[in-house]
Structure 1
Amino acid sequence: MDSYDVAVIGSGPGGYVAAIRCAQLGMKTAIIEKYATKGGTCLNVGCIPSKALLDSSHHFEDATKHFEEHGIDISGEVKVNLKNMMKRKSQVVEQTTKGIDFLMDKNNITSYQGVGSFKDKTHITIEGEQSIEIEAKHSIIATGSKPASLPFIDIDKERIITSTEALSLKEIPKHLVVIGGGVIGLELGQVYKRLGAEVTVVEYMDRIIPGMDKAQSKELMKVMKKQKVKFALSHKVKSVDRNGNEVIIKADDKKDKEVEFKADYCLVSVGRKAYTEGLGLDNIGIETNDKGQVKVDAHRKTSVDNIYAVGDVVDGIMLAHKAEEEGAMVAEILAGQKPHIDYNLIPNVVYTWPEVASVGKTEEQLKEDKIEYKSGQFPMRALGRSRASGDIDGFVKILSDKSTDEVLGVHMVGARVADLIAEAVTAMEFRASAEDIARMSHAHPTYAEAVKEAALAATDNRALHV
């Protein structure tokens, strides 16, 4: 029987990063993955393929709607070749997942394919092409999450689909109804809207992306409405039925009046749930909470002292980079180090266009916590760089403490804000004030100038270009 210092179950961002960091720190490490390719949801059916389709569909939209104004004439009809678009997406996924195999080999990590299950706290059985057993002093559970649904919906994976199937459709829907106005639903809804589908988003709450700052929700919906996406907010879906190639969705609006939507595809995007199936948690007494997540302490240790869990399978926001931070943290804890994660400073991003990015406290949270704050906001349309590229929607908003001027939250909508948010995270990690950011030189012309201007606006309303 092979023995290891650490065995990692699951090869998504949390798992493979944990394995690499353990190996870097001198631990003999194994990683167990039930699927043929590593990378988990993110690399295979999540972050990477969705961004590939978002970029491809964005190119198509630019070609059909914006090239002419840039002085680019295209003769003949511009068409979508969905088969080639999906082929490119698959190639991007393949390149990325092969990169994980390379990293495992580079760091001398032993890979096993199969379902890992705890026999006891130090022994794991792996059921794959053959059944084997390994021994591990420590284990890290990183089995991630799966798309959630509603109890009355029968996901047939053909017409009533999850994000997984939406990433591999063989035709462009005529009418796609998206149940859920969160990140995944909006991103995939925008992909198919660009490609020619009619898209309707049905959301239970009174606004889209309800976990982010209210101003961001309002701005993104305004822009997506201009893009002809339809929204039905404050609608409680009560039935989803398929009749041949038609899907009928019934919901009650905020006045309890029944509303019916008909579509050829329905994307159920109501969040994700922790995946622990087959782990054998009962064999070792590891508890889960009422959401099915593995219970852990602040160091991500389970109720069994040599077993940890990270990423989507535990509490907290379900983001790949959160999982990566936790994977690295646990590895360093096992090596006797004292790492720390500030969960308030993990950024959240929506990869629509314009992009949406946020870190720290929202304005609603500060009001709820009765924290006195200052707010500075700057519109993207006031930037020379935005006018040059034609990306004039959005804003940057900075919230700072009224007495100390420390930055408490930064919320952005606009071109490339998924990258810009790192500036805010850096500033907040070092507890910068709005004045600190305002006095930093920002290159001109750039989208990043909006961050400086918002900081100036939060500092005695000193924005220069608005």
Structure 2
Amino acid sequence: MSKYDVAVIGSGPGGYVAAIRCAQLGMKTALIEKYSSLGGTCLNVGCIPSKALLDSSHHYDDAVKHFEEHGIEIPGEVKVNLEKMIERKLSVVNQTVDGIKFLMNKNNIDVFEGVGSFKDETHINIKKSDGETEVLEAKNSIIATGSKPANLPFIKLDKEKIITSTEALELKEIPEHLIVIGGGVIGLELGQVYMRLGAKVSVVEYMDSIIPTMDAALAKELTRSLKKQGMKFYVSHQVNSVERNGDEVVVKAKDKKDKEVEFKGDYCLVSVGRKPYTEGLNAEAAGVKIDDRGRVEVNARLQTSAKNIYAIGDVIKGPMLAHKASEEGTLVAEVIAGQKPHIDYNLIPGVVYTWPEVAAVGKTEEQLKEEGVKYKEGKFPMRALGRSRASGDIDGMVKILSDEATDEVLGVHMIGARVADLIAEAVTAMEFRASAEDISRMSHAHPTYAEAVKEAALAATDNRPIHS
């Protein structure tokens, strides 16, 4: 029987990072993954492939709609080769997965392929695809089994016409009319991919706005921008029926006036969130408690009810974000090593990779109002930037919320070109408890999108932006 200091179950961004950090700290480490491909949902059927398709479709959209205004003429008709686009996406995924394999070898981490389940607190069964079972012993274990797409109880997913995000990444044709149930990150990103390629896209959302967990100003601006691009929105609509009739899908919902509305399309993407994946883990055998929402219960050190077993990422409470899982993987490795790391969950940024991109960190304006915090607001429109006009990306804004008394930055909310990268500036500032004035006094290169952050900080400080 193989013996390890740490066994990690799941090889996603939480699991593989935890394994690497454990190995760096001198622990003999095993990584258990049920699929032949490492990287979990993020690398295989999530973050990486969806961004590959977003980038490919963005190039096509630019070629069709914007090249001419830049003085670029393409003889003949610009066409989509969806098969080639999917093929490129797969190539990006394979390169990324191969990179994880390299890192496992580099750090001398033993990888086991099979379904990991607890025999007891210190022993893990690994059931292989050939039916054989191997057992390993681990002083400590880390549960990093991730999540899977959630569904509504009355929807039967056939994975052909009524699909999840996994199938949406592998379509053989461009939908004529894609009905998206759910106005969150995944639905909007994949909806924009196929809208750019020629599909009619209708988003049906139960809440009264899209991206409902983010600042309302971002939802309003993103709605306006995506509507301009052709996406249709039906908020405050409760879906109560999804049926397939041959090649047609019929979705029925009730609006806020309780009136039934019917949508007909050739594909329906069910994008109503994700749920923790703990099936087959046999957690009870190790004394690990699962809550009523299927999440593994943990304390502040991410320790489960079994003192030598930890859990990270999508299987525990909090936003289901790859970078959150990675931070937690690092934290747990360092806790096991006897160190005292920390995570400020308020400073984990959230991003929507549509175009314009959306990014945020810290408190929303709605949260500050609810908490009774007195704050100042500074906003700056992207269209006022020379860099935005030069690239043609004029939609969006940056909004900074700072404490009325101390000027400490409490939240930063952005929508515009490349804000997924730009949000790191806000995270850095807030990690060091910067004031809006601190940011306003920093030199920002010209012309850049980042200048909007400085201008928003000026607006929050003394209401004195230079360019608006």
Deviation of 1:172 (Å): 0.2
Alpha-carbon separation, structure 1, partners of 2:34 and 2:99: 18
User: Aligned residue for 2:230?
Assistant: 228
- Amino acid corresponding to residue 249 of structure 1 in structure 2: V
Q: 2:361 is matched by which residue type in structure 1?
A: V
The reply on whether 1:169 has 2:176 as its aligned counterpart is no
Measured in 2, the distance between the counterparts of 1:338 and 1:95 equals: 35
2:105 corresponds to: 105
Once residues 45 and 124 of structure 2 are traced to their aligned partners in structure 1, the CA distance between those partners, rounded to angstroms, is: 27
**Residue 330 of structure 2: aligned partner:** 328
Aligned to 1:63: 63
Cα distance, 1:286 vs. partner? 1.2
Q: Out of 376-385 and 284-293, give the one that drifted further.
A: 284-293
Letter in 1 for 2:405: S
CA-to-aligned-CA distance 1:250-278 (integer Å, 9 cap, x gap): 00000000000001000000000000011
User: By how many angstroms is 1:214 displaced?
Assistant: 0.2
2:340 aligned residue: 338
Could you state the TM-score of these two structures normalised by the residue count of structure 1?
1.00
**CA offsets 1:425-451 (integer angstroms, 9 cap, x no match):** 000000000000000000000000000
Aligned AA for 2:378? G
Map of 1:422 onto structure 2:
424
Q: Distance in 2 between matches of 1:9 and 1:316?
A: 19
Q: CA shift at 1:85, angstroms?
A: 0.1
Give the Cα–Cα distance (whole angstroms) in 1 for the partners of residues 336 and 37 of structure 2. 27
CA distance in 1, matches of 2:72, 2:286: 64
Runs of 4+ deviating beyond 4 Å: none
* 1:126 to 2:126 alignment: yes
SS of corresponding position for 2:218? helix
Amino acid of the residue matched to residue 25 of structure 1? L
Q: How far apart are 1:285 and its partner, in Å?
A: 2.2
Corresponding position of 2:242: 240
Percentage of identical aligned residues: 76
Please name the residue that 1:195 is paired with. 197
Partner AA of 1:440 in structure 2: M
Structure 1 position 131, deviation (Å): 1.2
SS of 1:424's partner is: helix
Per-residue CA deviation, residues 125-175 of structure 1 (Å, 9 max, x unaligned), is 100133100000000000000000000000110000000000000000000
Corresponding residue number in structure 2 for 1:9: 9
Q: TM-score, with normalisation over the residues of structure 2?
A: 0.99
Q: Which amino acid aligns with 2:160?
A: E
CA distance in 2: counterparts of 1:297 and 1:11, whole angstroms: 22
Cα RMSD, aligned residues only: 0.4
Partner of 1:385: 387
Which letter maps to 2:349? P
Q: How far, CA to CA, are the matches of 1:185 and 1:3 in structure 2? A: 43
Residues 180-238 of structure 1, C-alpha deviation per residue, up to 9 Å, x if partnerless?
Answer: 00000000000000000000000000000000000000000000000010001100000
Q: In the aligned structure 1, how far is the partner of 2:100 from the partner of 2:293? A: 30
Structure-2 separation of matches of 1:263 and 1:152:
18
Q: Deviations over 1:9-45 (max 9, x none)?
A: 0000000000000000000000000001000000000
**Aligned amino acid, residue 42 of structure 1:** C
- Is the contact between residue 200 and residue 231 of structure 2 (CA under 8 Å) also seen in structure 1? yes
Unmatched 5+ stretches in structure 2: none
- What's 1:182 paired with? 184
- 2:49 alignment partner in structure 1: 49
Matched residue of 1:74: which SS? coil
Letter in 1 for 2:121: K
- How far is 1:287 from its partner? 1.2
- Alpha-carbon distance in 2 for matches of 1:360, 1:96: 30
Structure 1 partner of 2:23? 23
Q: Which residue of 1 aligns with 2:77?
A: 77
Match of 2:140 in 1: 138
User: Helix, strand or coil for the counterpart of 2:462?
Assistant: coil
Match of 2:313 in 1: 311
Amino acid at match of 2:433: R
Offset from partner CA, 1:372-403 (integer Å, 9 cap, x none):
00000000000000000000000000000000
Matched positions, count: 466
Q: Which amino acid aligns with 2:278?
A: T
SS of residue matched to 1:238: strand
